Amino acid sequence: MRRKRLLLGLALGIAGVLLVLRRPRTPTSTTPEQRLPPPVVKPPAPPLQVDAAGSYVPGYRFTVNRFRFTGFSLRPEAVVTFAQTTSGAEQAVACFEAVISVDTIHLRCDDPQVGTVTIDGKFLTRLLTTRLDAAVVTAVVTVRSGSGEILYNARDRFEWHPSN
């Protein structure tokens, strides 16, 4: 009887193996797995001149009320700068009216010693330049006294110098 059970178990095992081997398999794909293309990475946009931190130095320096105009800055804040003709100490005057776009600049800055300075200009180059000898802004600079008298009015070209 033991032998019959052993033969029956062996027959069932062989039948099970045959069933597993004869079972239909899931067909495998003959085409290789397609990979997704790498994501398109846009190259970074070149920096714009309007966003550059630094100062704009005039081609022509002028003096008003013992202060020599040395330029202006747009970033991190809009200011015009003057230097005292006697000591050379530089003075920054904040611009309370500053309209700065990719193409144009309008600044209005008030100082009790110098007067009201307005700068109306445009960028000659849209993209940030690394050349320190190239004019990047053309602007009309006007300085008025407290009574409204025009003390200075001229168009000038400005070179950009990065912040240190």
Structural domains counted in the chain: 1
Q: Would you say residue 107 lies in a domain?
A: yes
- Among 51, 35, 90, 48, which residue's Cα sits nearest to residue 68? 90
Q: Would you say residue 23 lies in a domain?
A: no
CB 154 within 8 A of CB 138: no
Q: Would you say residue 60 lies in a domain?
A: yes
pLDDT of residue 27: 63
Note down pLDDT in tens along the chain; length 164 residues: 777 776 667 676 776 766 666 776 666 666 667 788 888 888 888 888 888 888 999 998 899 989 999 999 998 899 999 999 999 899 999 999 999 999 999 999 999 999 999 999 999 988 887 777 788 999 999 999 989 999 999 999 999 998 86
pLDDT of residue 112: 92
pLDDT of residue 13: 72
CATH number of the domain that residue 121 is part of? 2.40.128
β-strand pairing of 90-100 with 79-84: antiparallel
pTM of the model: 0.71
pLDDT of residue 50: 86
Domain that holds residue 59: 49-162
Q: Would you say residue 150 lies in a domain?
A: yes
CB 93 within 8 A of CB 117: yes
pLDDT of residue 81: 95
Q: Would you say residue 4 lies in a domain?
A: no
Whole-angstrom Cα distance, residue 46 to residue 25? 57
Q: Would you say residue 15 lies in a domain?
A: no
